[in-house]
Amino acid sequence: MSNAEALNDNKNDEDEYKEKTLNLFDNDNFVLNNSDEEEYASNSYDNIEDDDDEEEVDNDEEGLEDPPSSDNMSYDDLASQHEDDKYNEEETFNEDDNYNEENKYNDDEGSDEGYMKKIDGKSLGLTKRMKKIYINKKENIYHNQIGVYKNDKLMKNEDIEDRMKYLLILLNDTKKNNIKIERSTIINELLFYYTYYYEYSKEMIKYLYYIFDIKELYLFLEINNMPKEIHLRTNTLKITRNNLMKILKNQNVSVQEGESWNHVGITIKDVNTNVGSLNEYLYGYYIIQSSSSLMPVLELNIQEDDMVLDMCAAPGGKCTFMCTLKKNRGVVYANDINKLRCKAIEAHASRMGINNLIVTCIDALKIQKHLTFQFDKILLDAPCSGTGVVNKNKTARRKTIKEIRDLAQKQKILLNNAINLLKNGGIVVYSTCSISVEENEQVINYILKKRDVNLLPTNINIGDPGITQYRKKQFSSKISLCKRIYLHKHNHDNFFIAKLIKRSDAVFTNKDKNSNEKKKNKDKGKKKKKKMIIVIIYHKQI
């Protein structure tokens, strides 16, 4: 058998496994009842005696520290230009798509940063009751209870928490053949609990399962279900970070300075602190802004004489940061489609003492009809599904695939418009607070084919590389230069960042772009060859 045939066989096996798991999930008959402890444990507590003196296991989970709407955007008239690149529903979301089981469940899972090493009896924070079961591992542990509960009482949340954590342990045991339960059965039950406990739609949980393996998905859901730390950005036009921290400490506010790359950030540890009501906020000394949202602005490397545009600027944190980086000199354009949000931007600018900001209220899908000049730097923080900020916006937990696709179509048009407004040699940074591939890598892959642009590496060494292969889709290898930032891995809000440089105004079909690249490479080769010949002849003459 050839290597290619062997690979195809492996992919077929992976597809069958994935199909089996998701078919179980689609057709599950789970009944979320059985909080009665005796019946709940009837098959699992045989011969286990209570030990009141047993040391309680720490229930704290190690390492888990304590978008504007676009519905009114008209785009039908512009979307027709991109008809050739619309998503094929069967291709993108077919349940038979490739699934790399080997990558999802390798033995050194999570060894890179150590964040997955939390999946064990202690760090999962099991209660004493569940710890006993773990210690007394039997082959029939929960075997008769996987997926079915017979009691009429609803399970309590703490029982569901224990159950999820224990099932994650069972996955490791099945991998080592210590326990004879189908992995797909355990995964199916975990997906069910993820849906119920974290209040996601079934469609959204299935979607996330294609991005994360079942264990990492637990960490993602868990940390994004917790209260978040509050982050401030110091307004350096009015005060230094050190002085602001001293003032806040004097008011008994628990503060911590940002990371080495973040010279203006402050973290408020107490999530109950009402930082919006402090006098210092009214004085314009700071703005409430996550550290992740500073990264796209820093990637632009804004200079004082740059013409800069924030294309979808509300609520104003990023554009006001641009103004402070320019030290209130030159000009920054902040655009948004919504008049009320534009007024909010103006209010922030007034409070913070900013006077180099021009606010425009234009539909960004048609912005090039109104702005006839070009910019050195453009930030497109695109309207998105918000699937990366589900702790703030719980409605994002029930986004549909259709909504994600519709947003992705708008995002392509917005990014294409941004490139039209950019000078040759100018920089555009594209960012979202979504984790969907369709709104991120797929948009960038599209624009790399359509426009004469190059992806640039980011300057901040935080985050995972962009996804280059997603189900049946293979993206350009350059997509790895994008950055994915995850709260459960990097301790920053979930975010996507891509940095592009414009080479020319050219617009390509796929064939045009490929042939143009080949021609450039060929011409470079010829030039190098000619130089070598000239050098050789010159030496001969000497």
Q: How many residues does the chain have?
A: 542
User: Which neighbouring-strand residues pair with 310?
Assistant: 334, 379
152 labelled ligand-binding: no
Residue spans of beta strands (DSSP E) within 336-421: 357-360, 375-381
**Backbone Cα Rg of the chain:** 27
Sort 267 into a burial class: Cβ within 10 Å, 0-12 / 13-18 / 19+. Answer: middle
pLDDT of residue 160: 87
Q: How many CA atoms are closer than 13 Å to the CA of 17, on its beta-carbon side? A: 18
pLDDT of residue 156: 74
Catalytic site residue from 342, 384, 433, 482:
433
pLDDT of residue 60: 36
- Spatial neighbors of 17 by CB under 8 A, at least 6 apart, are 99, 101, 184
Establish whether 433 is a catalytic residue: yes
User: Which neighbouring-strand residues pair with 231?
Assistant: 267
For 74, which DSSP code? Answer: -
Distance of CA 483 to CAs 298, 299, 414, 451, 465, Å?
14, 11, 20, 21, 5
What CA–CA distance (Å, rounded) separates 377 from 338?
A: 23
Q: How many DSSP H helices and E strands does the chain contain?
A: 19, 15
312 labelled ligand-binding: yes
pLDDT of residue 181: 72
What CA–CA distance (Å, rounded) separates 495 from 318?
A: 14
Structural contact between residues 116 and 216, judged by C-beta atoms closer than 8 angstroms: yes
What CA–CA distance (Å, rounded) separates 375 from 330?
A: 13
How many CB atoms are located within 10 Å of the residue 158 CB?
A: 11
313 labelled ligand-binding: yes
| Phi and psi angles of residue 473, each rounded to the nearest 5 degrees, phi first | -100, 135
pTM: 0.74
336 labelled ligand-binding: yes
pLDDT of residue 513: 58
What CA–CA distance (Å, rounded) separates 492 from 298?
A: 15
314 labelled ligand-binding: yes
Handedness of CA 333, 338, 344, 347 (dihedral sign): positive
Alpha helices in 136-182 (DSSP H): 157-175
Give the residue among 458, 441, 452 at the shortest CA–CA distance from 419.
Answer: 452
381 labelled ligand-binding: yes
Give the residue among 95, 204, 116 at the shortest CA–CA distance from 434.
Answer: 204
What CA–CA distance (Å, rounded) separates 541 from 341?
A: 73
Collapsing DSSP states into helix, strand and coil, what is residue 349? helix
pLDDT of residue 271: 83
How many CB atoms are located within 10 Å of the residue 102 CB?
A: 10
Query: For residues 360, 361, 364 and 365, what is the CA-based torsion angle, rounded to 10 degrees?
Result: -140
363 labelled ligand-binding: yes
Structural contact between residues 289 and 280, judged by C-beta atoms closer than 8 angstroms: no
317 labelled ligand-binding: yes
pLDDT string in tens for the chain (542-residue length): 555 444 444 534 544 555 566 666 666 555 444 333 333 233 332 332 333 333 333 333 333 333 333 334 333 343 334 333 333 333 333 333 433 333 332 323 333 333 333 444 444 555 555 555 444 443 334 444 444 443 434 667 788 888 899 889 888 777 666 666 778 888 988 999 999 999 999 999 999 999 999 999 999 999 999 988 899 999 999 999 999 999 999 999 999 998 889 999 999 988 889 999 999 999 999 999 999 999 999 999 999 999 999 999 999 999 999 999 999 999 999 999 999 999 999 999 999 999 999 999 999 999 989 998 999 999 999 999 999 999 888 899 999 999 999 999 999 999 999 999 999 999 999 999 999 999 999 999 999 999 999 999 999 889 999 999 998 889 999 999 999 999 999 999 999 999 999 999 999 986 565 555 555 555 555 554 444 333 333 333 33
